[in-house]
Structure 1
């Protein structure tokens, strides 16, 4: 960071429609790690730069909302990257300015710092480059004696220039006043009739050294299609998995676990294969998340065991050493310390006390078609299998609910509740019905 008179600024170009994405959604809002890709870039940029400005296109209120509270400017006409950057020139400030792209979401803070350092060490302009395995249609960086002389867009490049392996990632950094002057002199006499930001490189080379800072292809590759979005997701997931394991988390089959960028896992957590973490999940130390579980907006306490095949929905808090078993779904539930719901159960809008056992097939009926209602179960209670708890209802501490009960009224602490229909026996009637059915089957 710099002093208040020389604040650094990141300008993020995000006005692209993403035609190749074949989507009504602005390209910058397509998601990686369960958040818009532009938010990845903003999160990283704010580690490095003092100010952030986002250039949006017209009629993109959702994008403006996603980047709030950062300032935005609108590129009314999409006339190229230099035109987009020029739209924000009044917000460049007085220090160094970096031009970033929303569709390059995986640039690391370390690389941004190297770019800024190259500029502050004397380069008139610093830019990012890469050596992709398939250079394809990337612009080529032309160098002489280690200094960049120009960038040639693929459509305007000669055959010799297209053989250059060093490719432009689009990101560049220079002093604010220099950038303003260069942008004012960019013209659109090229194959596309657009104002290319890359044209400032030749201008900068006339004023001083232009330095290329190289980074890995996976970090700098752009996202312009669904296939490239999937590749970026794979890169991000590998980063998140490595970070989790470095922090002391055991991933039994790392390649099968899907994280959100805000997933928080403490040391000594174990994750079995094929687990999905949606946004807003925290898992405390020593917890075990078993295979094929889905977690979102929840917290799992120390030493708890979740799954296999469990679903934890938003608002759920599983206390320390609690158990949530196979085919159990919890939504907006507080499951107390040591409480168990081990089989085939749905609990919604409920509080379950410590050491309570919820039997297989239990359901809290929390929705009446209009309103949600809460079920409160005390500590050390036992809820028999196939019980239906019709909310709002309260089950006291140490209460016992008989299997197969439908509970519509509160159960005081320590009481036993039956809510079954009366059983009736018809002597010999069972065999008569079976014989009748067999006869009908034989008759077709």
Structure 2
């Protein structure tokens, strides 16, 4: 029978190396806060209790956690006295919990539930290690057979230990009734005067408890402490996303130029041209075509639809089969039914466009009066001439025809033709008179 699981996510670091007013763990990877990636992983493991340890210096982090998980998921470390001290700060929040506890980090955005899963099932203490390409200053894992003998800091390691490439990720798991009693024995008798979580391994061994290491890929356990590392994490995230979509049958001629969000969905058979950016909430069904320099967020694009180039789909845009949204068209919170078109230079905000309707260049849905939003409904088969303004709330019936340059403020019945512009006046010869007068004024101004 699987034991209950809980997660403690350490997010109390000040992140001064980021040199940003935004707390470190709230910086995004794949357009999602790093802390949220850590919470996602904990939830993916089936953890029934999740506690995030925050510092008093970052009220934004606390608010973020409370919004997502509730106030009971917050533990405060104040002052910060090391990783062991941070884990102990979560002890009260887990009072009465009988199961396994895993300790993870809010600044390790690429670590997934599948990477963490192997730490569970042991009777003692388990840590996640990785084989480092350049071990450098990482703590080394000294392993004998199946036993993790020690975690040795690089500055304290012998030449033989420094030669090891097995390094400590910092992620650790143990039964709650073992972890917290061991942490109570950890001292701060070290150069920094801090309580180190890694001391738990030695204490567990001395008490006769099993200690072991499992391994994850180095990229998966990468921590982010500075902007350069954030950019590196983003690059690794995008690499995985691109490889995943290519393997699923998505065509990308220049995948390195396409950027995905953490939750982007793209069906096989879709073609994505170079320089496309997906924000959160984009769903692209198989067989769609996304052309270059388009930005899609919070929108659905059905099979056979075409977007771009240079198009923007904002949240609530819903494009049915065969819809075409062309260059320099922005769509927000509008449903476009099968075969509808807005080929260029239009803003469609808050409304619906019926099947087969055609929206001319320069058309605007005037959806905001400075106080409230209103909706525009364009019926099936309607034709809206170029440079028209549809002032919401307004409805165009099926098959309605709007003359170019019109400002439409009232509903238009089905199959009706609507004009909303001043009558054109032509004055023969007036252009020549105007030019002569303008030239004379210009000469006079120059004293000629």
Q: Deviations over 1:335-369 (max 9, x none)?
A: 12110000111111121111100111111111111
CA distance in 2, matches of 1:217, 1:434: 74
CA distance in 1, matches of 2:411, 2:178: 74
Contact 2:62/2:74, CA 8 A, preserved across alignment: no
| Cα displacement (A) at 1:161 | 4.5
Q: Deviations over 1:160-184 (max 9, x none)?
A: 6544432210011222222122101
Q: Of 88, 95, 99, which aligns to 2:103?
A: 99
CA distance in 1, matches of 2:67, 2:30: 15
CA distance in 1, matches of 2:151, 2:101: 19
Partner of 1:433: 434
Contact 1:10/1:49, CA 8 A, preserved across alignment: no
Q: Which runs of 5+ in 1 are unaligned?
A: none
Deviation larger for 14-23 or 92-101: 92-101
Partner of 2:190: 190
Contact 1:26/1:63, CA 8 A, preserved across alignment: no
CA distance in 1, matches of 2:189, 2:142: 20
Q: Deviations over 1:93-124 (max 9, x none)?
A: 2222211111122123222122225x25xxx3
Partner of 1:232: 233
| Cα displacement (A) at 1:417 | 1.2
| Cα displacement (A) at 1:66 | 4.7
| Cα displacement (A) at 1:205 | 2.6
The change in CA–CA distance for 1:67 and 1:189 in structure 2 (over 3 A counts) is farther
SS for the counterpart of 1:12 is strand
Partner of 1:140: 140
Q: Of 7, 10, 14, which aligns to 1:13?
A: 10
CA distance in 2, matches of 1:313, 1:241: 22
User: Would you say 1:245 and 2:246 are equivalent positions?
Assistant: yes
Deviation larger for 203-212 or 293-302: 203-212
CA distance in 1, matches of 2:353, 2:442: 49
CA distance in 1, matches of 2:364, 2:278: 24
SS for the counterpart of 1:197 is coil
CA distance in 1, matches of 2:150, 2:68: 33
| Cα displacement (A) at 1:188 | 0.7
SS for the counterpart of 1:46 is helix
Contact 2:66/2:73, CA 8 A, preserved across alignment: no
Q: Deviations over 1:276-312 (max 9, x none)?
A: 1111111122111111100111111221111110001
SS for the counterpart of 1:142 is strand
Partner of 2:55: 57
Alignment of 1:35-434 (within 5 A): 35-51=32-48, 52-58=50-56, 59=59, 60-69=61-70, 71-90=73-92, 91=94, 93-117=97-121, 119=122, 124-145=124-145, 147-157=147-157, 161-206=161-206, 207-434=208-435
CA distance in 1, matches of 2:185, 2:254: 54
CA distance in 2, matches of 1:337, 1:288: 15
SS for the counterpart of 1:341 is strand
Q: Deviations over 1:368-411 (max 9, x none)?
A: 11222221111101111111112222211111111111222221
Q: Which runs of 5+ in 2 are unaligned?
A: none
Per the normalisation by structure 1, the TM-score is 0.92
| Cα displacement (A) at 1:187 | 0.7
SS for the counterpart of 1:320 is coil
Contact 1:56/1:64, CA 8 A, preserved across alignment: no
CA distance in 2, matches of 1:172, 1:37: 19
| Cα displacement (A) at 1:24 | 3.1
Q: Of 26, 30, 33, which aligns to 2:27?
A: 30
CA distance in 2, matches of 1:231, 1:197: 27
SS for the counterpart of 1:328 is strand
RMSD, aligned α-carbons = 2.2
Contact 1:397/1:414, CA 8 A, preserved across alignment: yes
The change in CA–CA distance for 1:399 and 1:431 in structure 2 (over 3 A counts) is same
The change in CA–CA distance for 1:78 and 1:20 in structure 2 (over 3 A counts) is same
CA distance in 1, matches of 2:301, 2:229: 34
The change in CA–CA distance for 1:234 and 1:297 in structure 2 (over 3 A counts) is same
CA distance in 2, matches of 1:131, 1:431: 82
CA distance in 1, matches of 2:182, 2:42: 24
The change in CA–CA distance for 1:343 and 1:74 in structure 2 (over 3 A counts) is same
Count residues with an aligned counterpart.
437
CA distance in 1, matches of 2:331, 2:400: 21
| Cα displacement (A) at 1:157 | 4.5
The change in CA–CA distance for 1:155 and 1:431 in structure 2 (over 3 A counts) is farther
| Cα displacement (A) at 1:435 | 4.6
